[in-house]
């Protein structure tokens, strides 16, 4: 057991989360812990943007034909939310443990500005437009920052006082690491990656509305053809397919967690045809929407 996994287990024990199966918030907004007690088969999920750090266990995420293995001592950086398929594996009968960290826009821009002014050796010169979904190893300094954050999160006062500075450290380590170009791309307002990210924000806010490619291209301030190409490079999905997956994932959440009937969920996420919703739901999740509340 590594130091990070040991600290994550201490966190779980400290808050009585031994039966948790999923995410739980911490004392610090934007930071969540994750635990799963058993392996899970490949299934569609909507990964939010941010930094994902694994302390124990292993996951494989699939995006189109691209897949990434990541496990203990590794991290992922997602600049935009992505509809992925994920499978998870326990190792040595130990639960899967990890945490996710949101990247505040103001803090990101501040750090990028300082790095740019100082002309530091960083990843910002690399293009983030193509889907850069890759895992990277935590180096020694990055690990120490993560360990100090986990310790701080066990105490509300320490989390509030020390947490923001530790988040700052962690984002800095990402920026100067092998996945830094993803966050630099978000900070470049006029870059195509940032423009696609802006359109994706609109998707996640207004997925139940009458969104289409024309509306999203206008949000990104791009021509429809240029937006379509850039969108596919970032997400490996067409805008229409991406929107459909977001709606279906949201509908599944409404059915499972809010007890909504399939027809209700369909309407709430923007479908006008119950039969179309049922067909697409079954195609996406390999089961009918009714299966989730029977």
| Residues with Cβ within 8 Å of residue 143, at least 6 apart in sequence | 3, 4, 73
Highest average pLDDT, of 7-21, 51-65, 230-244, comes from 7-21
Residue 83 β-bridge partners: 46
- Pinpoint the residues of the chain covered by CATH 2.60.120: 3-187
pLDDT, tens only, 215-264: 999 999 999 999 999 999 888 889 999 999 999 999 999 998 888 999 99
Asked whether the beta carbons of 239 and 211 are under 8 A apart, the reply is no
Phi, psi of 256 (to 5 degrees): -80, -45
> Positive or negative CA dihedral for 23, 146, 158, 79?
negative
**What is the average per-residue pLDDT within 109-120?**
85
pLDDT score of 293: 47
**63: helix, strand or coil:** strand
| CATH top-level class of 192-292 | mainly alpha
- DSSP codes of every residue in 91-108: BTTBPEEEEEE---HHHH
Which two tokens mark 241? 């397919």
Which two tokens mark 269? 């996420």
pLDDT score of 294: 44
Asked whether the beta carbons of 181 and 126 are under 8 A apart, the reply is yes
Model confidence, pTM: 0.86
- Pinpoint the residues of the chain covered by CATH 1.10.10.60: 192-292
Is residue 119 very low, low, confident or very high in pLDDT (cuts 50, 70, 90)?
A: low
| CATH top-level class of 3-187 | mainly beta
**What is the average per-residue pLDDT within 262-270?**
95
Asked whether the beta carbons of 199 and 80 are under 8 A apart, the reply is no
Is residue 150 very low, low, confident or very high in pLDDT (cuts 50, 70, 90)?
A: very high
């Amino acid at each position: 057991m590594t130091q990070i996994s040991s600290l994550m287990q201490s966190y779980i024990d400290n808050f009585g989360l031994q039966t948790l199966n999923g995410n739980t918030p911490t004392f610090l907004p934007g930071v969540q812990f994750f635990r799963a007690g058993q392996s899970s088969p490949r299934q569609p999920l909507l990964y939010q943007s941010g930094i994902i750090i694994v302390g124990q266990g292993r996951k494989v995420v699939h995006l189109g034909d691209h897949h990434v293995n990541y496990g203990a001592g590794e991290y992922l950086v997602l600049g935009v939310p992505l509809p992925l398929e994920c499978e998870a594996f326990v190792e040595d009968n130990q639960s899967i443990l990890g945490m996710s960290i949101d990247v505040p826009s103001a803090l990101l821009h501040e750090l990028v500005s300082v790095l740019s002014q100082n002309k530091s050796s960083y990843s910002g010169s690399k293009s983030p437009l193509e889907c850069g979904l890759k895992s990277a190893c935590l180096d020694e300094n990055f690990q120490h920052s993560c360990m100090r954050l986990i310790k701080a999160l066990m105490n509300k006062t320490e989390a509030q006082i020390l947490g923001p500075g530790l988040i700052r450290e962690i984002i800095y380590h990402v920026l100067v690491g092998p996945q830094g170009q993803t966050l630099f791309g978000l900070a470049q307002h006029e870059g195509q990656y940032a423009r696609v990210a802006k359109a994706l924000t609109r998707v996640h806010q207004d997925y139940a509305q009458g969104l289409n490619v024309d509306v999203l291209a206008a949000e990104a301030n791009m021509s429809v053809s240029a937006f379509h190409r850039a969108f596919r490079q970032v997400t490996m999905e067409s805008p229409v397919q991406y929107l459909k997956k977001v709606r279906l994932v949201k509908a599944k959440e409404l059915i499972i967690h809010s007890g909504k009937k399939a027809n209700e969920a369909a309407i709430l996420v923007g479908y006008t045809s119950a039969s179309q919703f049922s067909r697409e739901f079954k195609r996406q999740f390999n089961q009918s929407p009714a299966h989730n509340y029977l």
